[in-house]
Structure 1
Amino acid sequence: MSTRWPRTRAAAGSVAVGALLLVSGALTGRADVAVLGAAPLVAGVWDWRRRPAADVSVRLAASSGVPTPGQIESVVEVGAPDDVPGVLVGVRRGGRELGEVLVAVRGTRRLPLLVRTVRTGLQEVATVDAQGIGAGAASVSVPTRPVARETVVLPARRALGALPLPPRLRGLTGAHESRRPGEGGGLRDVHPFTPGDRLRRVDWRVTARRAPDLRELYVRREHALAEAVVVLVLDSRDDVGPDPLTWRGSNPPRAQDPTSLDLARGAAASVAEAFLGQGDRVGLDDLGVRRRPLPPGGGRRQLDRIRHALAVTQPQGEPAVRLRAPRLPSGALVAVFSTFLDDEAALAAAQWRHLGHRVLAVDVLPTLHVRHLGDRERIAVRLISLAREDRLADLADRDVEVVTWRDAPEVALATLARGARRRAGAGAR
């Protein structure tokens, strides 16, 4: 199917002016005026007869490179017949015009497209259209139908130091010392030799000091190594930006501002990578969606599963009210990533703490921009902030440890880890 190539205004104007000069010169007998009009008239008619007849095509494809958090690489494939000297390619994203470029195609040409973003999850890469330009710019094609592509941006991770551990470790292997006797950990005590002890565990110095006649042997007993079970709980019900005026949903947050869900995805991915790097087991659950949670597991594949599950998580309408918090493995460390703008996440965290879990309440609300707000909006934000502060203070009173992710979370987590070392049976990596 051929595309219509209408004449441009400049070409039509030059032909009209040339024809007017030619007729005026013929009527007035001025050959010089007629010659001046003949050139643009002949050029315009010649270029119009040479207008292309084939279509211009455009396609937006994924790049062959490895995607990197923070930037999206794509390829714009433009196709045009050989008689089209140039193609104007326009790129838009999120309703904003990113730019236009005029390129020479001659068949097919691949143009690299790099989009930088602070957002994560499912999002639009760009919307691209193209318009061909005929010979001498005398004609242009009808713009192609805009083509768009979506992709999933995985959350970026940040390096964390020491992390708090649950009060009770599980398993027969791992990287942390447990309270039960075994092998691999630090010294637990020195005990008289009993059936089942190995001779290589005999401490001859203690034996010589306590039983010089060797009537009794003493062995060194160590703490066994175990692993921690960590459950990450994401609250996907809220996805708010730093501008409170966008919380109603009528206006989307700005593309350059990360939202609370972006911070929650990055925080959960960072905590998961830190624990999985130590050989612990990490699972994932969502308070906003009733679906089967990702059970705790270990290894690199588990980290990939968690990052992908975090990336595709997004608010899904009005969530159903939960009568009780989801069931979790016993003795797990629970990290709740939420804005705590309502009571549901706080109630679930308090219930888990009442059941004996160690609970971390990770606050992922972005730093608010309030300078442009009016008096009524400032009062509303202040009331919401006071209610949220009371909610977090109540969690702290219930022995739920609160961490603010926007304010040096690695320092806060390391402080909680050092405090855990003073409690019997707990430790830090």
Structure 2
Amino acid sequence: MSLVSNPALNLRTDNPREPWRESEARPVEWRRTPALVRAVALAGFCLLIAVAFGRVDLVLLGVPFALGTALLLRGRPVQTPKASLELAEDICAEGATAEAALTVTNPEDTPITTLVTAAADPWIDLHTGKGDFAERIPPATARRMAIAGDAKRWGGHTLGPVHIRSLACGGLIETTQEILEPKRIWVLPVPDWFESAETLPFADGVAGVHRSRRHGDSGELAEVRLYQPGDRLRRIDWRTSARSQDLYVNATLSERDTDVTLILDLQVEAGESGGIGGTASAADLTVRAAGAVAAHYAIQGDRVGCIEFGARARRMKPGTGRRHNLSLLRWLAAVEIPADALPPSVEMLRRQLPGNRGLHVVFTPLLGERAVALVASLARAGRPVLCVDTLPGHVAPPSRTYWTPAAERLWRLARENTVMELREMGVAVEAWTGAATLDNVLAELSRRRYR
């Protein structure tokens, strides 16, 4: 029996359902308004009563309504206005202006009045085109209207939807409501200012700014040794050579780049975000701190990559330069913390990490056992680990009972104990406070490297 003639393949299900289909948008068309209905009804009623009862005064009362309606409808439009919503730029920074342009084109020879109702994401504070406003559009012209607002927080936000309705012929006819779909705009995080003068351990790249153990052309002296064929003459130490009667040269350490891997703990959120000018949540501190560290090292020539330790487990390939820094900020703007997500795997993340010859910076609020286990496993593997604490200082559990303050003190003591245990394992743990936050811990890592 062939598969085509098999009767089992033609059986119907017990509960057959038609496949779900998206509802098509209704076309925009002209329709009468209640004003037109009232004008026609009043004129017809006056004429009918005048004929029935011989009242000439009612004819004089109804004729102006009939003539006015006829004159207004003489230039009745046929084509509906065309509207479009376009973003000025699909990327902006926190605190900057997110702007979209609404263009309404009137193809007829009759002027129209367009009523616009604009909305936006809660994190975009509209200041231009907010709420309801009207614009008169002359015949055969197009009017460009701005819808703009201040972007208060990083992430993917929307400008729109925009509801449009046009009236013509003195308000006697109107178009059906047209809804323009919202446009997504990516708001990039504004990183905190971060600058570090400390070199990184395991600088084994080609060329960079970090001190390496390998000899090469640099300004840091490694040793003074006897001259060998091939040494440059400008490296000769003439004072030592004059005292010893032999040629000695100054050997220097080379400066190289390194790999910096940023690991973002996105398991839980702590605190409420107030945007660019308000209080910061744990996710805000994590994203902005990671953006600051990434910008510092990517611009100076190091290879910077990012990995999410969360449900999505996204990964950004290492790169360097200003263009890669912009890509990193765009990657950070897409960070999300799902409400009910599967816990991440420490072993799977460790397999995604590059070799042991780079710096691993973990941004975590230290609120979960898996984050602590991740930091501890990296330290046991011999990797240089820097743990940045991103728990905001104002975060506290809600007061529910009389024992809430005591429970909070116990929780903070347990958290301090966890930090001390990580430091005993050789992990540098430092709370994020902005510029020069990591100088001391980076210097300690470098000293451990060159002992």
Q: TM-score, normalised by structure 1?
A: 0.77
Q: Answer with 110-119 or 390-399: which moved more.
A: 390-399
Among 127, 130, 135, the residue aligned to 2:169: 135
CA distance in 2, matches of 1:73, 1:39: 47
Residue equivalent to 1:425: 450
Residue equivalent to 2:428: 401
Task: Report the residue type matching 2:247 in the other structure.
Answer: L
Which runs of structure 2 are paired with 1:163-312 in the superposition (5 Å)? Answer: 164-194=198-228, 197-209=231-243, 211=244, 214=245, 216-239=246-269, 242=272, 260-288=282-310, 293-312=315-334
Task: Report the residue type matching 2:253 in the other structure.
Answer: H
Which runs of structure 2 are paired with 1:279-428 in the superposition (5 Å)? Answer: 279-288=301-310, 293-315=315-337, 318-324=341-347, 325-326=349-350, 327-366=353-392, 368=394, 375=400, 379=404, 382=408, 386=412, 391-405=418-432, 408-417=433-442, 425=450
Q: Answer with 285-294 or 352-361: which moved more.
A: 285-294
**Contact persistence 2:90–2:184 (CA under 8 A):** no
Residue equivalent to 1:159: 193
Q: Answer with 135-144 or 357-366: which moved more.
A: 357-366
CA distance in 1, matches of 2:378, 2:313: 19
**Contact persistence 1:178–1:223 (CA under 8 A):** yes
Structure 2 unaligned blocks of 5 or more: 1-26
> SS at 1:273's partner residue?
helix
Q: 1:255 to 1:23 in 2, by over 3 A?
A: farther
Q: 1:101 to 1:414 in 2, by over 3 A?
A: farther
CA distance in 1, matches of 2:410, 2:68: 70
> SS at 2:216's partner residue?
strand
Structure 1 unaligned blocks of 5 or more: 244-252
CA distance in 2, matches of 1:191, 1:332: 30
> SS at 2:328's partner residue?
helix
Residue equivalent to 1:61: 86
Task: Report the residue type matching 1:137 in the other structure.
Answer: G
> SS at 1:410's partner residue?
coil
Which runs of structure 2 are paired with 1:7-22 in the superposition (5 Å)? Answer: 7-8=33-34
CA shift for structure 1 position 86: 1.0
**Contact persistence 2:308–2:314 (CA under 8 A):** no
CA distance in 1, matches of 2:331, 2:84: 29
Residue equivalent to 1:78: 104
Q: Answer with 46-55 or 130-139: which moved more.
A: 46-55
Q: 1:206 to 1:157 in 2, by over 3 A?
A: same
> SS at 2:195's partner residue?
coil
Residue equivalent to 1:90: 117
CA distance in 1, matches of 2:33, 2:309: 59
Q: 1:78 to 1:382 in 2, by over 3 A?
A: farther
> SS at 1:329's partner residue?
coil
CA distances 1:75-111 after superposition (whole Å, capped 9, x unpaired): 2222344324211111112379941221123443332
CA distances 1:261-292 after superposition (whole Å, capped 9, x unpaired): 44433322221121122221212222125768
Residue equivalent to 2:7: none
The CA RMSD measured in Å over matched residues stands at: 4.1
Q: How many residues align?
A: 407
> SS at 1:353's partner residue?
helix
CA shift for structure 1 position 390: 5.1
CA distances 1:57-91 after superposition (whole Å, capped 9, x unpaired): 4322222x584313323222223443242111111
> SS at 1:140's partner residue?
strand
**Contact persistence 1:203–1:219 (CA under 8 A):** yes
Task: Report the residue type matching 2:132 in the other structure.
Answer: E
| Residue 123 (structure 1) aligned with residue 157 (structure 2) | yes
